[in-house]
Structure 1
Amino acid sequence: MTMTDRTENDAVIEAAITSVEPAALQPGTVYGFKFRDHVKVVDLTGDEYLDEPRRKTGTVTVDDVTSFAQYYAKHADPDSEVYTDLDAGTVTAVLDAHTSDVDVPRWQDHRLVLRMKPTEPWKTWIGKNRIALPQLAFAEHIEDNLVDIASEPVPAAEMLEIAQTFQAKTQVSYASGTRLASGDITLAYEETTDASGGAKGKLAVPKAFAIGIAPFDDVDPYKISVRLRYRIQSNKLSMIYVMDRPEDVVRDAVKSVVTKVQDATGITVMRGVPS
């Protein structure tokens, strides 16, 4: 048999195969067809071939406890499990978790995640925490976020006055700073404008103030102490504020949200990450 004969035979076989009337296949089944020297597989087991999915799958992410409780109540069953990762700020429900019967495993791929997003005030304050700010930038930060400042130990009105003084004293040369026994700061400066004639002065700054902000929407504001530091380089002043252990505030806030999840759903939340 020549190569030409074999090619013609192949053409006849293919023509015969393609001339066969198509047959209806049953969705949800895997078919195997012998084709020449191999088996061709047709997999119709996907949900796209069915009128509806065979089971619930996917991960739903919500932003608050109310939404978590609502979705959980609709889709959970007695074998559902819930975990929290305190560092990541998440609560994860495995709605189709394994049953207690070792012979009845489940897929564990229908999940609900509560992702705690930082509030805008929290992002604003944490974003400049421990960063040296030029005096004008510091003053603007205080003025723009005055509503977050707690009444004690330094009221918002006094912090506003300090901010306005910083804004007015941009044309000065800072010589030194002194931390008093009380912890407050005194900054010595000299006017550099011609009109002032080199007048000298001192600027008093408190050692600390406090802010009241919530890390997440589902928790009450926390009162956080904010300590003040200064830096003088080339007669230019920079101010630094240091929030008191914000990471502890976040972890405590996550625990508070977890408690609210437990109260809203009646479940016990485990610490950890599901497989």
Structure 2
Amino acid sequence: MSQSSEQFGQVTALAADPRSALETVLEAARIAAPTIFGQDGREYAALPKSFSLLDISDPNRLPSRVQQAVTVDDRASLSAYANRFKSDRSVIIADFDALTVSARLDWHEHNLGEDFPAPGYNAHAVTLKLRPSEEFARWDAMEGKIHPQDEFARFLEENSVDIGHPEAATMIEISRDFEATVGQTYKSALRLDNGDRKLVFETDTKVQNGVVIPEKFTLSIPIYNGEQPEELSCLFRWRAMGGGAVGLGFQWHRVEYQRRAHFTQIALTASEETGLPFYMGRFA
């Protein structure tokens, strides 16, 4: 029998038996795409011979895990998120230099656990990125510089609501007194018994008037966004400028200590709200 006759016979036989034709089509499809993924995540290969399943999964394949980095804007959100996803391995790491408080939810196992020292994934975390409050940022931009007296007087008046002591009305009065001396000539400064300074100005007609500035004043503003206000101390500064003018400004007094202490308190409060241990530092 010729080859063409044999092929014709096979085609005729398939046409006569539809089930054989279907099996042939299925077999061709399995050979074209032999890889099958099971519902459990394992991978199988369908082999042509008897179409048995052969497990070809990677024996070193890690189980599925959460990989998520969330950034929140306040401590309450940090604690709420951590409480939802925390486990016995979770920890809080507070980095003052970066102003971050981070709950590492899949950190390493405790050294008393059965899986120690197997490393944790460290792929699921929620981080509070602290930002200066609007009020602190506004005052901090003016701190450490000497400004023209009219400019500084306007700033005091516009932000008098932030001032704790002397009271806002007194600071507004001081700012207006300074505005009244613009164009006059600075003559001298006197230190008063309480440590305040009296700056003396003179008009063209030789009439003298004085402006008393406090040695220091306090602000009642939050340091970080979303936190409660606290009292910050400022030291009044002034400098005689050319042409009889006076420059004004202020410097923070030990505010950096308060910033660090408040940061530590935020981390401690988050630790208390979540029941997680916290560490001051950073990780690579």
Q: Which category describes the TM-score, using the shorter chain as reference length?
A: 0.7 to 0.9
What secondary structure is seen at the aligned counterpart in 1 of 2:231?
Answer: strand
Equivalent position of 2:268 in the other structure: 259
Cα distance in 2 for residues equivalent to 1:127 and 1:225: 16
Instruction: Judge conservation of contact 1:218–1:257 (CA < 8 Å) in 2.
Output: no
Cα distance in 2 for residues equivalent to 1:199 and 1:178: 17
What is the identity, as a one-letter code, of the residue corresponding to 1:183? Answer: G
1:157 aligns with 2:169: yes
Instruction: Judge conservation of contact 1:212–1:224 (CA < 8 Å) in 2.
Output: yes
Cα distance in 2 for residues equivalent to 1:214 and 1:92: 21
What secondary structure is seen at the aligned counterpart in 1 of 2:144?
Answer: coil
1:270 aligns with 2:279: yes
1:222 pairs with one of 225, 230, 233: 230
Distance 1:24 1:121, change over 3 A: farther
Equivalent position of 2:90 in the other structure: 80
Cα distance in 1 for residues equivalent to 2:34 and 2:176: 81
State the identity as a percent: 29
Distance 1:99 1:237, change over 3 A: same
1:248 aligns with 2:257: yes
Distance 1:22 1:135, change over 3 A: farther
Q: Deviation digits for residues 212-265 of structure 1, max 9, x if unmatched? A: 111124543221221112101111110121121111111111122122212221
Instruction: Judge conservation of contact 1:139–1:167 (CA < 8 Å) in 2.
Output: yes
Cα distance in 2 for residues equivalent to 1:105 and 1:256: 29
Cα distance in 2 for residues equivalent to 1:93 and 1:146: 38
What secondary structure is seen at the aligned counterpart in 2 of 1:243?
Answer: strand
Instruction: Judge conservation of contact 1:185–1:204 (CA < 8 Å) in 2.
Output: yes
Distance 1:169 1:105, change over 3 A: same
Superposition map of 1:114-133 within 5 A: 114-133=128-147
What secondary structure is seen at the aligned counterpart in 2 of 1:187?
Answer: strand
Equivalent position of 1:102 in the other structure: 116
- Structure 1 residue ranges without an equivalent (≥5): 1-20, 31-44, 46-52
Equivalent position of 2:246 in the other structure: 237
Equivalent position of 2:190 in the other structure: 178
Instruction: Judge conservation of contact 2:90–2:276 (CA < 8 Å) in 1.
Output: no
- Structure 2 residue ranges without an equivalent (≥5): 1-30, 44-57
TM-score by length of 2: 0.73
**Shift of residue 172, structure 1, vs aligned partner:** 1.1
Instruction: Judge conservation of contact 1:83–1:93 (CA < 8 Å) in 2.
Output: yes
Cα distance in 1 for residues equivalent to 2:42 and 2:282: 35
The structure with the largest alpha-carbon Rg is 2
Distance 1:24 1:171, change over 3 A: farther
What is the identity, as a one-letter code, of the residue corresponding to 1:130? Answer: G
What secondary structure is seen at the aligned counterpart in 2 of 1:229?
Answer: strand
After alignment, is 86-95 or 128-137 more displaced? 86-95
What secondary structure is seen at the aligned counterpart in 2 of 1:130?
Answer: coil
Distance 1:22 1:223, change over 3 A: same
